[in-house]
Amino acid sequence: MASPAQQLPPGWAAEWEQTHQRYLFIETATGHTQWEPPTGPSAQMQQPPMESPPEGTVPTHHSKRRQYAAGQTQAYYGTTEEPSMLQPMSQPPQQAGMEPQLFTPGLAAPSFAMQQQGQTQPPYYEPGQGQQQLDYINSHQQPAYGQPNPNALADQFGQMGLGGQRSFSLQTANLLTSPPDPRELSLPPPEIRLPPNATVTPSQFANADSSYQRSTLNAYPNTSSLLSKSKIPLALVISPYRTVSESEPQVPLVTDTVIARCRRCRTYINPFVQFIDGGNRWRCCMCNLSNEVPQMFDWDQTRNQPGDRWSRPELSHGVVEYVAPTEYMVRPPQPAVYVFLIDVSHSAVQSGMVATATRTILENLDRIPDEDERTKIAIICFDVSLYFFSLSPGQSEPTMLVVSDVDDVFLPKPTDLLLNLAEARSGGGLENLLTRINDMFKENSIIGSALGPALQAGFKLMVPIGGKIIALSSSLPSVGVGALKNREDPKILGTAKESGLLQAASPFYKTFAIECSRAQVSVDMFLFSSAYQDVASLSCLPHYTSGQTYYYPAFNAARAEDALKFAHEFGEVLAMPIMLEVIMRVRASRGLRMSSFHGNFFVRSTDLLAMPTVATNQGYAIEIQIEETITAPFVVLQTAILHTTCYGERRIRVVTTAYPVTSNLSEVFASADQVALAVLLANKAVERTLSHKLEDARDAVFNKLVEILQTYKSSMTAAGAGASAQLAVGENMKMLPVLILGLLKNVGIRQSAQIPPDIRAYSQALLTSLPAQSLISYIYPSFYSLHNMPAEAGTVGPDGVIMPPPLPLTSERLERHGLFLIEDGQTIFLWVGRDAVPQLVMDVFNLPSYDVLRGGKTTLPVLENPFSQRVNAIVQKTREMRRGVYYPHLYVVKEDGEPPLRLWALSALVQDRADVLPSYQQFVSSLKEKVNGNGGY
Ligand SMILES: [Zn+2]
């Protein structure tokens, strides 16, 4: 526990707080209070460095400063990350270590201080001479783009949290005069300002980090009428099993199996409960019931002596994991099971898929989780027949068994088809088999696919245990159960009937998915066809079984890039530490109810989400209703995920977040999280395309945005219900319109008669499963200028490779002599301007001039020059910084190259006008018309 004996910084006092039995820290100048001990010169850290007092002086409190420590639970994402992003452009570049973070420390941290440097340094590549040169310099003397007005921002932050004030102060921006600034997407969500007595321990980790769980609102309306008045949908956006890099805080593990839960509502004890009755009981933060503290709660079982209650991580951490005792098991932890279904029909073999897949499994056998040597594996090949492989332990020669009757699938042998991984390898049999499969089928001329029967066979093999089916398929399923017809019809693309193509064509894929879910079986689909494959039907299986769909249209392993991408992603899936037999439930304070659920799972009972196996980095969105008036000062939401690790341990991960409650509409607006909102709206839009038309889905998203802006105008601005020359929105929601525009232009939703249904369906699968960090870049890609990037960009800084500053997504930024990178987490485009100087082309591509450079999918050479190495480092970082297994293809796009490729790359610049789709300016003015009640869009 904190003690005032520690050295307090100047200007702070400590007071013993009787009710909570701990010290309250008071900043004397302002009266601001916090539980968190003020460590070091915290007051200075809260201020933009430019205004920091000189060393050794007493920090005076400036009324125009944001108090990052205003809510003691927020300090962890406040102090070091935000100021640098918002400092004026004239800041000295001493802030390199204070980069803003893209949701999570350690990942994608564009340095904004760098941008300033870039303006004063000569560009690496200058155009030849004359006017171009002048243009170049001119463009760099102007503010880069939509730079936030530093004074306005200072005002904004000055009014927020001043002197411990708990309320939000809403700052209005005019969308017509403040163009999107992509750097704002890296800002943390609006601060969660809890009352000072909200947590039981003074921990900066009491609230879960927003990368695990974030809410569309960070202040909860106290009534449903206040919520509906705001028009902002209330939802949680969660990614409970995101990957955690070594430099990030790890999730603490409670190993003593002492798990304190509320007797009535089953909430897990957390930093927001209260201890009462001399610490013998605790009051539940959800339902207020008083519960007994478990006997062993204060006992250190390792040392067998009294322990320190306050060192228990569940009282100080919003994300914590428990080792679960046997009561949490329906049956003993099952081993991890992988059943591979490999298409070996003519096209599958000819494309090189079979060779690449078997080689990748072979090369990754050591990476498949199998610490306890219980992991099981089976391989079934299929064309219009099924081919099983039998191998007894220690044997080196596998036997192949063929089943040609696919109408009534049976297993040809009761044993030795599902193999213990370690035993199957002991005699070299598995390696032998994987090495030979491609040769066995290399002359196969059979066309057709019994994918459905293969799925049934795989299911039969593993049904007593559960696990993961990984299906690799190169064509439309054509025989047996689940056979599909080619329903692709160019005539109906872009019409009201198009959404029919996005629904499953056969009920098999949903009914079988539910059967799988019950038996704890997940399905991953790897799809490779060059023709229509019905991704919409096939992706149903991953959707309901918490698997994932991976799509490699027109896969051809003869292209090194294709083979590399698939091998990389498949290898990552194999190596992933999957969770088994997962159930997830979100509990919340009285008055709140989880009302609808979006993501890859099956809703088993009202609010219990069943996930047979869970891959890391999936995202989910859960909508929340306010059922009764909330009288508590804050609410708590807790996501609990019960699962078995692939190492055979039953565990519970608990993610807890608390939010203040407000009766004030302006606080509701000021607390809105535009990133979480965009994630929710993406999920809802995709679902609507399945139940309605694509057009309806787009309209619904657009109208939701109009409603929010209308309410904002009528209740938060002087214009009220009258017409306004402005389009007002809160500063914290300034990026929402451009995110929505990006969503409306995404391949999964976009108005077009040109998008093949398989491409659409795959995009929709991504929109409903990517975690926020990846989803945002998928709808609002990243865009960098490389030829003139700051000297540090592409070099390694304290947090890894330094990225160039992101540009707004408009082709106005493209320069004829330039080299640009555009990426959305799935694809990387290197755009080369037609006047790129020969030296640039030589340094990056090792070619003498732009004319001999070829556009298309490529592998960038690593050359012996610093610029090549920096560009490669940026491409590498781009591939690593998004969550998930994806390894984006890299395309070289020449400014005057093939039109389809150019148009594809340009379609990522979502602020431009494209065909019938509006530019950002047009979009915003049609929003304004609508908000003023004059139609539009
Ligand atoms: Zn309770």
For 37-66, write each residue's pLDDT tens digit: 666 443 333 333 333 333 333 333 333 222
> Is there a contact between 216 and 673 (Cβ–Cβ < 8 Å)?
yes
| 309 CA → ligand 1 middle, Å | 20
pLDDT of residue 326 exceeding 50: yes
Please list the alpha-helical segments (H only) found in 160-244: 224-230
pLDDT of residue 100 exceeding 60: no
Rounded distance between C-alpha atoms, residue 458 and residue 882, angstroms: 32
| 864 CA → ligand 1 middle, Å | 63
Dihedral (Cα; 415, 421, 422, 427), 10-degree rounding = 60
**What is the DSSP track for 236-277?**
EEE-TT----TTSPPPPEE-S----B-TTT-PBP-TT-EEEG
| 322 CA → ligand 1 middle, Å | 19
| 807 CA → ligand 1 middle, Å | 48
Torsional sign, CA 298, 301, 307, 310: negative
| 293 CA → ligand 1 middle, Å | 13
| 289 CA → ligand 1 middle, Å | 5
**b/e map of 614-645 (b: 16 or more CB within 10 Å)?**
bbbbbbbbbbbebeeebebebbbbbbbbbbbb
pLDDT of residue 80 exceeding 60: no
Residue tagged 């370690």 (tokens): 422
Q: What is the pLDDT, as a whole number, of residue 365?
A: 97
| 259 CA → ligand 1 middle, Å | 14
What is the token pair recorded at 404?
Answer: 């040609």
Dihedral (Cα; 226, 231, 232, 234), 10-degree rounding = 60
Diameter of the chain measured on Cα atoms: 85
| 55 CA → ligand 1 middle, Å | 49
| 288 CA → ligand 1 middle, Å | 6
Q: What is the pLDDT, as a whole number, of residue 218?
A: 97
What is the token pair recorded at 601?
Answer: 């799972």
Mean predicted lDDT score pLDDT of the chain: 84
Rounded distance between C-alpha atoms, residue 886 and residue 773, angstroms: 13
- Percent of the chain surpassing pLDDT 90: 72
730: helix, strand or coil: strand
Residues in CB range of 845: below 8 A, 6 or more apart: 853, 860, 861, 892
Q: What is the pLDDT, as a whole number, of residue 34?
A: 66
Q: What residue type is assigned to position 721 of the chain?
A: A
> Is there a contact between 30 and 162 (Cβ–Cβ < 8 Å)?
yes
pLDDT of residue 283 exceeding 60: yes
> Is there a contact between 186 and 101 (Cβ–Cβ < 8 Å)?
yes
Q: What is the pLDDT, as a whole number, of residue 167?
A: 62
Rounded distance between C-alpha atoms, residue 493 and residue 490, angstroms: 5
Rounded distance between C-alpha atoms, residue 436 and residue 428, angstroms: 12
- Selection from 640, 620, 572, 579 nearest residue 771 by Cα: 620
Identify any residues that bridge with 403 across adjacent strands, giving them in sequence order. Answer: 386
| 215 CA → ligand 1 middle, Å | 21
Report pLDDT digits (tens) over 468-497: 999 999 999 999 999 999 999 999 999 989
Question: How far out from the chain centre does Cα 751 lie?
Answer: 25
What is the token pair recorded at 286?
Answer: 């959800």
The pLDDT confidence band at residue 916, using thresholds 50, 70 and 90, is: confident
| 593 CA → ligand 1 middle, Å | 14
> Is there a contact between 376 and 361 (Cβ–Cβ < 8 Å)?
no
Per-residue pLDDT averaged across 380-387, rounded?
Answer: 98
| 222 CA → ligand 1 middle, Å | 19
The pLDDT confidence band at residue 20, using thresholds 50, 70 and 90, is: low
Rounded distance between C-alpha atoms, residue 790 and residue 802, angstroms: 10
Q: What is the pLDDT, as a whole number, of residue 22?
A: 62
Residues in CB range of 45: below 8 A, 6 or more apart: 68, 79, 80
| 269 CA → ligand 1 middle, Å | 9
Residues in CB range of 651: below 8 A, 6 or more apart: 321, 322, 323, 324, 642, 643, 644, 645
Rounded distance between C-alpha atoms, residue 751 and residue 694, angstroms: 8
Report pLDDT digits (tens) over 390-417: 999 888 999 999 999 999 999 999 899 9
320: helix, strand or coil: strand
Report pLDDT digits (tens) over 840-868: 999 999 999 999 999 999 999 999 999 99
The pLDDT confidence band at residue 676, using thresholds 50, 70 and 90, is: very high
Residue 251, number of CB atoms within 10 A of its CB? 19
Q: What is the CA radius of gyration of the chain?
A: 29
Report pLDDT digits (tens) over 159-174: 333 333 356 678 999 9
Find the helix packing angle between 736-744 and 694-716, rounded to 10°. Answer: 170
Q: What is the pLDDT, as a whole number, of residue 17?
A: 58
Q: Are strands 728-730 and 376-382 parallel, antiparallel or unpaired?
A: unpaired
Give 838-891 as a 3 state SS string. Answer: HHHHHHHHCCCCHHHCCCEECCCCCCCCHHHHHHHHHHHHHHHHCCCCCCCEEE
| 589 CA → ligand 1 middle, Å | 8
Per-residue pLDDT averaged across 179-204, rounded?
Answer: 92
Q: What is the pLDDT, as a whole number, of residue 133?
A: 31
| 266 CA → ligand 1 middle, Å | 6
764: helix, strand or coil: helix
4 class by beta-carbon count within 10 Å (0-12 exposed, 13-18 middle, 19+ buried)? middle
- Selection from 839, 825, 695, 713 nearest residue 772 by Cα: 825
| 286 CA → ligand 1 middle, Å | 5
Report pLDDT digits (tens) over 416-457: 999 999 999 998 999 999 999 999 999 999 999 999 999 999
Rounded distance between C-alpha atoms, residue 246 and residue 165, angstroms: 37
Residues in CB range of 130: below 8 A, 6 or more apart: none
| 142 CA → ligand 1 middle, Å | 58
| 287 CA → ligand 1 middle, Å | 4
Torsional sign, CA 573, 578, 580, 586: negative
Per-residue pLDDT averaged across 520-541, rounded?
Answer: 96
Rounded distance between C-alpha atoms, residue 795 and residue 747, angstroms: 34
| 291 CA → ligand 1 middle, Å | 8
Which bin fits 873, alpha (ψ -120 to 50), beta or left (φ > 0)?
alpha
| 324 CA → ligand 1 middle, Å | 20
What is the token pair recorded at 48?
Answer: 């933009």
pLDDT of residue 155 exceeding 70: no
Q: What is the pLDDT, as a whole number, of residue 180?
A: 95
> Is there a contact between 859 and 890 (Cβ–Cβ < 8 Å)?
yes
pLDDT of residue 106 exceeding 60: no
Residues, beta carbon < 5 Å, ion ligand 1 = 262, 264-265, 267, 284, 286-287, 289
List C-alpha distances in Å: 199 to 165, 213, 615: 18, 18, 32
| 262 CA → ligand 1 middle, Å | 5
Rounded distance between C-alpha atoms, residue 554 and residue 357, angstroms: 15
The pLDDT confidence band at residue 29, using thresholds 50, 70 and 90, is: low
pLDDT of residue 13 exceeding 70: no
Rounded distance between C-alpha atoms, residue 689 and residue 662, angstroms: 35
Q: What is the pLDDT, as a whole number, of residue 136?
A: 27
| 265 CA → ligand 1 middle, Å | 4
Q: What is the pLDDT, as a whole number, of residue 28?
A: 58
**What is the DSSP track for 624-672?**
EEE-S---SSEEEEEEEEEEEETTS-EEEEEEEEEEEEES-HHHHHHTB
**What is the DSSP track for 329-340?**
-SSSPPPPEEEE
| 284 CA → ligand 1 middle, Å | 5
> Is there a contact between 68 and 74 (Cβ–Cβ < 8 Å)?
yes
| 292 CA → ligand 1 middle, Å | 12
| 276 CA → ligand 1 middle, Å | 15
| 588 CA → ligand 1 middle, Å | 9
| 633 CA → ligand 1 middle, Å | 16
Please list the alpha-helical segments (H only) found in 770-865: 772-779, 838-845
Rounded distance between C-alpha atoms, residue 509 and residue 536, angstroms: 10
Q: What is the pLDDT, as a whole number, of residue 934?
A: 66
Rounded distance between C-alpha atoms, residue 551 and residue 539, angstroms: 10
| 316 CA → ligand 1 middle, Å | 19
Rounded distance between C-alpha atoms, residue 794 and residue 240, angstroms: 31
Strand ranges inside 131-239, DSSP E: 172-174, 213-215, 220-221, 235-238
